[in-house]
Amino acid sequence: AITAREAVETGATLYRGGVLGRSAAAEGQFWALESPLNPGYAKRYGVPDRNTLFNFIEYGTLKPGSRFITRPAPGGTAIETVVNPNGVHISGFNTP
């Protein structure tokens, strides 16, 4: 978690996947340091199978001064980043 925190603080790209009309977008609070399109992502981040049919991927960096924590993802093995709503500057939004 400390290594992830340092990465986030120094501008690492954060990622989220979601479903249009159902998932939070820029106001989302739970972010990963890897793309949701990576093999094994759902298992590492504890995402239930029913929630893996992403139709958008967004990514960005932590906004200056935004508060955040890094922690083990519930139900997974990866470290996730949790920010306050709108704490990430979105640099890309794609529909795979």
Query: In which element (H, E) is residue 5 found?
Result: helix 2-9
Q: In 3-state terms, what secondary structure has residue 41?
A: helix
Rounded-to-integer distance, Cα 78 and Cα 26, Å? 22
**How confident is the model at residue 49, as a pLDDT?**
87
* Longest Cα separation, the chain: 35
SS3 content of the chain, % helix, strand, coil (to 5): 15, 35, 50
Q: In tens digits, what is the pLDDT along the chain, a chain of 96 residues?
A: 999 999 999 999 999 999 998 899 889 999 999 999 999 999 999 999 888 899 999 999 999 999 999 999 999 999 999 999 999 999 999 997
